[in-house]
Amino acid sequence: MGDSNLKVWVILGVPLVAIVLYSLGLLGGTDRQKFDQLKLGMSAAQVRDIIDPPSGGGKYAAMANAHRIQIRDNENISYNNCMTLIVRNGVLVEKEWTGAEPTDKAAAQK
């Protein structure tokens, strides 16, 4: 494989692999994975970092981070119509999954 072919594969292949991983929930996390990471007793900042993680570095990171979800000390949050979170005194006190449950292909085939 020539050097120019390698560059083409890197330029096209890396973003394509990232898109596939993201769509499978292996990169960035699905809403269900985010919900499962949330633990009662977490601070509002920890909850925000899970459901709306900060953008990485780069030219527009500061602008993107400025528009992140703001979670106040006493708030009921409905996120993406799949989870309800209750924060009191800056702490996650209750969480409920309201979205569809993921289907298990093995269980469906029985």
- Count of domains in the chain? 1
**Given the structure tokens 């996650």, which residue do they identify?**
92
The H-assigned helical ranges of 1-110 are: 3-23, 31-37, 44-51, 61-66, 105-109
Would you write out the chain's pLDDT as a tens digit for each of its 110 residues?
A: 566 777 777 677 766 666 655 544 445 578 999 999 999 999 999 999 999 888 777 777 777 777 788 899 999 999 999 999 999 999 999 999 999 876 655 444 44
The model's pTM is 0.63
CATH number of 39's domain: 3.30.1450
Tell whether 55 is covered by a domain.
Answer: yes
Tell me, yes or no, whether 24 lies in a domain. Answer: no
Count other C-beta atoms under 10 Å from residue 71's C-beta: 20
Find the angle CA(102)-CA(32)-CA(48) to the nearest 5 degrees: 170
